[in-house]
Amino acid sequence: MPYNYTSGGTAELKLGDATYQLPILVGTEGEKAVDIRKLRAQTGYITLDSGFANTGSCASSITFLDGEHGILSYRGYAIEDLAEHCSFVEVAYLLAHGSLPTRQELTCFSHMLGKYALIHEDMIRFFDGFPANSPPMAILSSMVNSLCSFYPEMLDNPLENIDKMAARLISKVRTIAAFSYKKSMGQPLVYPRHDLSYCANFLNMMFDSPVQPYVINDTVVAALNKLLILHGDHEQNCSTATVRVAGSARVNLYASISAGINALWGPLHGGANQAVMEMLQLIHNEGGNYKKYIERAKDPNDPFRLVGFGHRVYKTHDPRSRIIKKACDDVLAALNIADPLLDIAKELEEVALKDSYFVERHLYPNVDFYSGIIYRAIGIPTNMFTVMFALGRLPGWIAHWKEMWDDPDWRISRPRQVYVGPRRRPFVPLDQRAG
Ligand code: ACO
């Protein structure tokens, strides 16, 4: 076995008169999997698993998550420790390289981030081609895709150049995000600075202006740092799976990440942080009657869902939301902000956590529930929230792409289906078709 699995014996599958032995593999944290890789060849059967909720698509050594117990770790380190003690740049290095950087490695990586922070001046003209109200996620995915035209050296030996590509992406996506905001505001671009940390540099590019210099606030920088770390990776979520699926066709890193950005855009995934804010604003505009929305969320005939609640994997508190909630309180206190939307969020949380509908279905606040309030407090517009998520998730996407590219078990992703359409039938020429 090329991976660190241990054998858990075999599972027996009976199909008619035949019995098949399927290997059981056990991961390093005790997760068990029935290995069905030879199932179709041996039996002619496939498995059906809509949404892949029971399907392991790869072995991975990046992130461990136990949704039943609310545990999350990157490369073996608890998310709580990383959020408390690390910078986002350290965690990005950890995700991409597998180990925490030494002081010298961190200096070298930070130097690369500084060196690659500019985007080609020709790319800046792209921003002018987008209509004024373009969704920032559309701009981001297009710009990231076009990076491969400007920086093509990685196309031949991607793994040899992965450090450079990772640093380029992590640094340039920050610049692209800030520039897209400045363009949308009709303000002059603020170029990256060599002397600022990753997060402070981003905030400065976003909010500094020739007429109103931006004052960097340490509590805000610390909260952004935490948010990005907490979003760094989350194993095989929708956008990461998309990056791996696209990359499995051996498409380049930039194109794969661009595909991931588009998946993240969806309101059931990364778009939820924006949707939370819109929901809280709606409740506020209607006089703060949050109970009506709780009732709507519970009504089986109403498609409305309480955004920011529930998670495909966590069936208890999302460990990230606890940390974010604390960071949220710190930011609001440091900036002296009283936010009525936060009050509604707290009331919603309190009621939902006691309500049997939410309790029975294990619907707890997820990572998006409080992140939007922090972003709003530090001045990031609602339509940029998902861009912020992408900024945080980028190191995870890169780590997964790299792992997939180097995977000894790699095969192009190509799921099967159960066909339920019309059976084969005779072709009818156009002039003989009824109607
Ligand atoms: N509000 C009300 N009811 C809900 C909610 C919600 N937010 N989430 C799930 N439910 C209900 C479902 O209606 C279903 O009820 P039923 O058993 O009576 O039919 C039950 O809980 C199970 O829900 P599923 O849809 O099976 O859960 P699934 O794992 O497929 O979906 C998801 C997870 C998409 C996150 C869902 O909880 C949801 O839509 N939440 C709101 C959107 C959101 O916050 N997304 C962000 C996720 S975090 C992230 O991507 C970073």
Measured between alpha carbons, how far is 286 from 280 in angstroms, rounded to an integer? 10
Amino acid at 310: G
For residue 154, give every residue at least 6 positions away whose Cβ sits within 8 Å of its Cβ, in sequence order, or none: 148, 161, 162, 164, 165, 252, 253
Whether residues 255 and 279 share a domain: the answer is no
Whether residues 360 and 322 share a domain: the answer is yes
Whether residues 160 and 302 share a domain: the answer is no
pLDDT digits (tens, 9 = 90+) for 316-331: 888 998 899 889 888 9
Whether residues 205 and 83 share a domain: the answer is yes
Whether residues 196 and 255 share a domain: the answer is yes
Q: Which of 233, 311, 318, 400 is labelled catalytic?
A: 311
366 lines ligand 1 (CB under 6 A): yes
What's this model's pTM, rounded to 2 decimal places? 0.90
Whether residues 94 and 211 share a domain: the answer is yes
Residue 300 has pLDDT above 90, yes or no: yes
Whether residues 242 and 258 share a domain: the answer is yes
Closest of 137, 318, 127, 110 to residue 234, by C-alpha = 318
What is the percentage of the chain residues whose pLDDT exceeds 70?
Answer: 100
Measured between alpha carbons, how far is 227 from 327 in angstroms, rounded to an integer? 8
Amino acid at 279: M
- Cβ-contact 299, 305 below 8 angstroms: no
Q: Worst-scoring range by mean pLDDT, 285-299, 335-349, 419-433?
A: 335-349
For residue 213, give every residue at least 6 positions away whose Cβ sits within 8 Å of its Cβ, in sequence order, or none: none
Nearest residue (by CA) to ligand 1, atom 18, is 300
Note whether residue 297 is domain-resident: yes
pLDDT on residue 222 = 95
Note whether residue 416 is domain-resident: no
Torsion angle, alpha carbons of 310, 314, 320, 325, to 10: 40
Distance 274 CA to ligand 1 centre (A): 16
Q: How many domains does the chain have?
A: 3
Helices (H), 335-406: 340-354, 356-360, 368-377, 385-405
pLDDT on residue 353 = 86
Nearest atom in ligand 1 to the alpha carbon of residue 300 is: 18
pLDDT on residue 60 = 96
pLDDT on residue 433 = 94
Closest of 367, 379, 291 to residue 324, by C-alpha = 367
Q: Which two tokens mark 389?
A: 């998520």
Whether residues 89 and 51 share a domain: the answer is no
Whether residues 115 and 259 share a domain: the answer is yes
3-class DSSP assignment, residue 52: helix
Q: What is the CATH number of the domain that holds 14?
A: 2.20.28.60
Nearest atom in ligand 1 to the alpha carbon of residue 311 is: 35
The length of the chain in residues reads 435
Distance 135 CA to ligand 1 centre (A): 25
Q: How confident is the model at residue 386 (pLDDT cuts 50, 70, 90)?
A: very high
Measured between alpha carbons, how far is 396 from 62 in angstroms, rounded to an integer? 8
Whether residues 331 and 315 share a domain: the answer is yes
Mean pLDDT, the chain, rounded, equals: 93
pLDDT digits (tens, 9 = 90+) for 147-204: 999 988 777 788 888 888 899 999 999 999 999 999 888 899 999 999 999 999 999 9
- Cβ-contact 408, 59 below 8 angstroms: no
Residue 1 has pLDDT above 60, yes or no: no
- Domain limits for position 315: 272-377
Note whether residue 177 is domain-resident: yes
Average pLDDT over residues 352-362: 91
Residue 432 has pLDDT above 70, yes or no: yes
Note whether residue 185 is domain-resident: yes
Judge whether 311 counts as a catalytic residue: yes
Residue 339 has pLDDT above 90, yes or no: no
pLDDT digits (tens, 9 = 90+) for 70-115: 999 999 999 999 999 999 999 999 999 999 999 999 999 999 999 9
311 lines ligand 1 (CB under 6 A): yes
Note whether residue 329 is domain-resident: yes
Pick 96 or 346 by higher pLDDT: 96
pLDDT on residue 2 = 67
CA dihedral (221, 224, 229, 233) positive or negative: negative
CA atoms within 13 A on the CB side of 362: 12
Note whether residue 393 is domain-resident: no
Distance 353 CA to ligand 1 centre (A): 15
Summarize the chain as % helix, strand, coil (round to 5).
55, 10, 40
- Kind plus residue range of the DSSP H or E element containing 311: none
Q: What is the CATH number of the domain that holds 147?
A: 1.10.580.10
Note whether residue 30 is domain-resident: yes
Pick 398 or 330 by higher pLDDT: 398
Distance 307 CA to ligand 1 centre (A): 8
pLDDT on residue 4 = 80
First to last CA, the chain: 60
Measured between alpha carbons, how far is 410 from 3 in angstroms, rounded to an integer? 12
Note whether residue 187 is domain-resident: yes
Q: Among all chains, which residue has been given the structure tokens 């900036």?
A: 335
Q: What is the CATH number of the domain that holds 360?
A: 1.10.230.10
Pick 344 or 342 by higher pLDDT: 344
Judge whether 317 counts as a catalytic residue: no
Measured between alpha carbons, how far is 339 from 331 in angstroms, rounded to an integer? 11
Average pLDDT over residues 401-429: 95
Task: Out of 335, 358, 377, pick the residue that ends a domain.
Answer: 377
308 lines ligand 1 (CB under 6 A): yes
What is the percentage of the chain residues whose pLDDT exceeds 90?
Answer: 73
Residue 404 has pLDDT above 90, yes or no: yes
101 lines ligand 1 (CB under 6 A): no
3-class DSSP assignment, residue 22: strand
Whether residues 329 and 284 share a domain: the answer is yes
Whether residues 247 and 277 share a domain: the answer is no
